[in-house]
Structure 1
Amino acid sequence: MLLLISSSSEGQNLLRAKGASIVDGQGKEVILKGVGLGGWLLQESYMLGTDTLNAQGRIKRAMRRTMSASEVEEFYQQYRDGFITKADIDFIAAQGFNCVRLPMHYDLFLTAAQRRVREQALDQASAVPAYVAALAKWYDADQLFTNPKELDGFRYIDNLLAWCKANKLYVILDLHAVPGGQGADRNINDGIVPLDLWKRRDAKKRLIYQDVTVRLWQKLAVRYRNEPWVAMYDVINEPHGMDAAHDMAGDNSEAQTLYSRLITAIRAQGDKHLIMLEGNGYGNEYTNLTPDKLPIKDKTNLVYNAHRYWCTNDPTVGDANPNQINLIHNLVAFRERWQVPVWVGETGENSNEWLTAAAQALNEQHIGWCHWNVKRVAGTTSLLNIKPYGSILTSEGRDNLLRNIQFRNCEPNRDVLDALMRQPGTTATKAYTSLTLPGTIAATHYDMGRAGTAYQDSVYQKTDYRRPDRWNLGGASRNDGVDVGLAHDGDNTALAVQHMTGGEWLQYTVNIKKAGRYMMQARVANEGATPAELQLRVANKPIATLAVPPTTNAGTWTTLTTMTAALPVGQHTLRVYVVEPGARLGWLQFNLVAASAQGG
């Protein structure tokens, strides 16, 4: 169903740039904190769990080996209609975010017939010239993007805007897969020939993919130029590989030319929306793209982007290149030097500690950010986790996927949400779930909070993309440095804390209903050659020690039993300290054996 944009939006004030800030119609600063809707209108293999297929086009090609083209198209229609719905947007708004970034594939703005010609080129490299010729023909005949009511891309934008307006959420339109491909990474841009956006010429010697890109943004501007809930246009996502090694100038001159064309074309439609630029090198490097270098008349309402992954959050650390702005020091300096707003269009895919530190540092500098991503298969860093579904190349797997992507079947990652929205600016911890004694505590139910307050782990974030360090060696459930993984305990498979090294600890907020001494049982394993040792403390007082003998291998578990010291009634913190490394911990069970006279 097409939800049309209300004409009542006309005349309302758009967000705009005022010096280095983004402000609303009343001049009030707006800090955009949002979530990316990646995986919806463009499938990326790593988020879908199909890494060997590498890109959406290759996924489709593999599916067409056993399915007709119409069957593949029907599957994708169902997938897109179910991946993001009003329920997802309601959920995002309820968490306190105020915007979403919509990554779009340009092929959704083609007609079904035009899309089939493109997919022939995806299947056969020899068909690329025919597709380029067809694009040029459609371009010259004004047959591209001409009927919004019949094009999927406009339908999805309009539906999203209706849901977002109801929740007072802004939308950032992001052309994620650009005609021709803006880089060499097919997973991002679903290109046919790498970097063709910058190189491919048609029979008339035109850079035809660039012409088509400009035409698409012209059509988008005409349709949404008066829509105040569109925050800005992200005209090209993550250009990269524009260097001498790929037979390009290496000074961003190609991007300078195209960005200037795009800005001029959008403004020519009477559109005053914020326009965001993304630098070379996955959105961060702006040599020859600073405002003084852009050969355009209207330089108002520009925003500069950074994508921040696997880098330090220390605001005192800078890059020697002032135009490389993924580090916070450079991001702030660039904003102040050029008096333009900056926005972190993507950040995430790191531990909760890193997410919190990044959000806190950016919040303190009044820099907005957008978490990547809303949902992914077996996702611990996303807001929502999609359960594994099997293989997209089988009918059973596709049926599972269509069911699992629906909001009601996704699992919220409460720890990620807490790290992004509650933890910045505080050292307070929060119980992951209600825990009472007498009772059983799952080892993985430690408190939510920052490293050093809710837990301590030897490696709890990644701050250098060049290093292979993993902050979680288990990769299951929680997104902290605590190494949570699946444990095979006899015939049972459950989550357990593993790779416990000396000096690490876990904290649990517990409500002790009855004071006294408890019989404690612990489900443990130790695949090392020497005994491990755990010490338990309540209110920082030792209450029990567990010596965990070697248990041969990872599949051998045992239950140890010991008596605790007297425990006080009330809410307290229970900490499990690793004195000697090697233990694996599944759960702790406490049963009262000797009540004390303490009330409660």
Structure 2
Amino acid sequence: MVLTDNNVAGFVRAQGSKLVNGNGEPLILRGVGLGSWFLPEGYMWKFPEQGDRPRRIERMIEGLIGKEKAEEFWEIYYDRYTAEVDIRKIAEEGFNSIRIPINARAFIEDGEPLRFKGNNLRRLDQCIEWCRKYNIYAILDLHGAPGGQTGANIDDSENDQPELFTDDAYRRITIELWRQLAERYKDEWIVAGYDLLNEPLPDWNAALNPALMPLYRDIVKAIREVDQQHMIILEGAHWSTDWTIFDEMIDDNTLLQFHKYWNNPDTESIQKYITDRTRWNAPIFMGEGGENNIDWYSGAFRLFDDHDISWNFWTWKKMDAINSPCSVNKPEGWDRLADYLAGGEQPSTEDAQRILWSYLDNIALENCTYHAEVVHSLFRRAPVRIPAMFYGYQGEEIGYHIGTRSGRNVGFRVNDGTDIRFVDSDRQLADFQHNGGRPWKLDQRLCVQLAAGDWLAYEFTSANVGGGEGIESVAYGVEIRLRATEILGDWSGLTVSLDGWQLGTVRPTSAEWTIIRLEESVALDEGLHRIVIEAVGGPVQIEWIDIV
């Protein structure tokens, strides 16, 4: 159990380019998104395109088991998918915030005037109460705006068009929805801020980009009529990556949000956002990133920490996954539903109900398969493996030292100058895409090559066992996968130090890849630690460092 002081205290606000809490203390949000709760996404259900969004999933379920049973299914689903035990576990793991995706259809009736429906507003209130109880901030995220803000499945679009920007009625409803949410939560300090629109207007709808900032202004004006305290969170266009739409800071308590999937986790890939942080004198937030593997996580999320950027991982829970903390176990017969959506045979009512109710059992946290290694990778918390390419991002002589650079292959870390090379792989990993973005290819392993005198630093954290009273330090060992390159009459190796204390030297005996473990184990107190590896003798290649 982690549950340490996480600076959660009072209203979050922007102070220049930093976030601070209600006590004026610096704050970095480190959170997780509750994807597929109020806006079920088909890919998290392992469904094909015919079931890729809430309205299509709802239509399938009602068609299979009838309206009454379908309504019962959704009431149970909303109660179980995110429950108090989830929020408690998130807090125990050390996250200090959650991002709650809201689908307008799940909260309000069609048409005007705006009317709330059902029990989801009560569930949102309850979740905010749990956040207060377990001391983590909540971010309200309008993931599916009335009419849709993207024209894609992720906003539950009816006609695959961003009708929020083409229909004045949807625009008015969205503004009023935010005004009423702000009125409801204006005194709730545990609500960190209002994320006005998730990933609006992908490039193929960029002709509508000029309508985005005027809408933001009108929403903020409506919010400020009733709520002067909560932070406004603005996302760029094109999956939240295009910040050229920002023409001014429309509120002095604003957090600018970008999303990051699949491209290289290096400073170059986020430099434009870091530059804009200075330009606008506003804090920045990586509000969605994930859907990759734990090696990528250990680089990307350390990148954000090293640059003092708040972050939120996507997502806490989904079906049959190894790259989210909670994996919903796929029920027996589930593929029959997916096949039916794709045009296959329709299951009987009895079979469909049995499969769906098995799913409702499986979504409870206690029935999920929990992947602690995902969380360890996000926080770089021991035990954790750190790919060698993800040394410190704070800059030269802090995160690394490189000697003579003449003839170096710059490669992966283009801002640094280390020699990053592709090496033969003994495993095959998938080549992923997210929303058409440039992929980070993992079909080969990457290593770092160092010459004598070069050094790299890796920061990681340790959490004590049990939490609270009577905590104990934990003993860890250090393993390194490395090899010598061709040398003439000399040997290659690495000296390894931890928090300034030398642990020893590791020396590969050949040009073959080998894993070497330092003989000495070390007891780590809770908190941040720093390993430094320095090349001695001839050149050496390093693939990863494992704190075990």
TM-score for the superposition, normalised by structure 1: 0.62
Residue 400 of structure 2 is aligned to residue 403 of structure 1: no
User: Does the CA contact (< 8 Å) of 2:175 and 2:218 recur in 1?
Assistant: yes
User: Does the CA contact (< 8 Å) of 1:459 and 1:470 recur in 2?
Assistant: no
Segment drifting more, 459-468 vs 68-77: 459-468
SS of corresponding position for 1:65? helix
| Number of residue pairs matched by the alignment | 405
Paired with 1:341 and 1:387, the residues of 2 have a C-alpha distance of 38
Residue 162 of structure 1: CA displacement?
1.2
Partner of 2:372: 414
Segment drifting more, 30-39 vs 153-162: 153-162
Paired with 1:159 and 1:353, the residues of 2 have a C-alpha distance of 35
Distance 1:276 1:461, change over 3 A: farther
Partner of 2:276: 334
Amino acid at match of 1:214: I
User: Does the CA contact (< 8 Å) of 1:351 and 1:460 recur in 2?
Assistant: no
Q: For residues 31-65 of structure 1, what are the alpha-carbon distances to aligned partners after superposition, in whole Å with 9 as ceiling and x for unaligned?
A: 00000000111100001111231211111112222
SS of corresponding position for 1:66? helix
Partner of 1:219: 180
Partner of 2:85: 87
Paired with 1:306 and 1:570, the residues of 2 have a C-alpha distance of 42
Residue 157 of structure 2 is aligned to residue 191 of structure 1: yes
Partner of 1:208: 169
Partner of 1:301: 253
Q: For residues 557-583 of structure 1, what are the alpha-carbon distances to aligned partners after superposition, in whole Å with 9 as ceiling and x for unaligned?
A: xxxxxxxxxx999989xxxxxxxxxxx
Amino acid at match of 1:215: E
Paired with 2:329 and 2:39, the residues of 1 have a C-alpha distance of 19
Task: Give 5+ residue unaligned stretches, structure 2.
Answer: 1-8, 338-346, 391-423, 447-475, 479-505, 523-548
Residue 350 of structure 1: CA displacement?
1.2
Residue 287 of structure 1: CA displacement?
2.2
Q: For 1:282, which of 239, 242, 246 is the aligned residue?
A: 239
Residue 42 of structure 2 is aligned to residue 19 of structure 1: no
Amino acid at match of 2:91: A
Residue 102 of structure 1: CA displacement?
0.3
Task: Give 5+ residue unaligned stretches, structure 1.
Answer: 1-11, 119-134, 202-206, 318-326, 424-428, 431-447, 474-479, 482-507, 511-537, 546-566, 573-600
Matches within 5 A, 1:125-524: 135=111, 138-139=112-113, 143-145=114-116, 151-186=118-153, 188-201=154-167, 207-241=168-202, 243=204, 246=205, 249=207, 252-291=209-248, 299-315=251-267, 317=268, 327-389=269-331, 390-391=333-334, 394-423=352-381, 430=383, 448-452=384-388, 471=442
Higher relative contact order (CA 8 A, sep 6+): 2
Q: For residues 198-249 of structure 1, what are the alpha-carbon distances to aligned partners after superposition, in whole Å with 9 as ceiling and x for unaligned?
A: 4443xxxxx0001001111111010101110000101111112365xx4x63
Partner of 1:78: 76
User: Does the CA contact (< 8 Å) of 1:353 and 1:461 recur in 2?
Assistant: no
Q: For residues 488-526 of structure 1, what are the alpha-carbon distances to aligned partners after superposition, in whole Å with 9 as ceiling and x for unaligned?
A: xxxxxxxxxxxxxxxxxxxx979xxxxxxxxxxxxxxxx
Distance 1:461 1:17, change over 3 A: farther
User: Does the CA contact (< 8 Å) of 1:17 and 1:302 recur in 2?
Assistant: yes
Residue 108 of structure 1: CA displacement?
2.3
SS of corresponding position for 1:376? strand
Matches within 5 A, 1:10-89: 13-52=10-49, 53-89=51-87
User: Does the CA contact (< 8 Å) of 1:385 and 1:411 recur in 2?
Assistant: yes
Q: Percent identity?
A: 30
User: Does the CA contact (< 8 Å) of 1:226 and 1:271 recur in 2?
Assistant: no
Larger C-alpha radius of gyration, 1 or 2?
A: 1
Segment drifting more, 172-181 vs 461-470: 461-470
User: Does the CA contact (< 8 Å) of 2:197 and 2:235 recur in 1?
Assistant: yes
User: Does the CA contact (< 8 Å) of 1:174 and 1:235 recur in 2?
Assistant: yes
User: Does the CA contact (< 8 Å) of 2:236 and 2:242 recur in 1?
Assistant: yes
Q: For residues 415-435 of structure 1, what are the alpha-carbon distances to aligned partners after superposition, in whole Å with 9 as ceiling and x for unaligned?
A: 111111135xxxxx73xxxxx
Distance 1:396 1:339, change over 3 A: same
Residue 157 of structure 1: CA displacement?
1.4
User: Does the CA contact (< 8 Å) of 2:317 and 2:326 recur in 1?
Assistant: yes
SS of corresponding position for 2:232? strand
SS of corresponding position for 2:245? coil
SS of corresponding position for 2:60? helix
Amino acid at match of 1:45: G
Segment drifting more, 59-68 vs 79-88: 59-68
SS of corresponding position for 1:90? helix
The CA RMSD over aligned residues, in Å, is 3.5
Paired with 1:400 and 1:75, the residues of 2 have a C-alpha distance of 11
Residue 472 of structure 1: CA displacement?
7.2
Partner of 1:498: none
Matches within 5 A, 1:546-585: none
Residue 285 of structure 1: CA displacement?
1.0
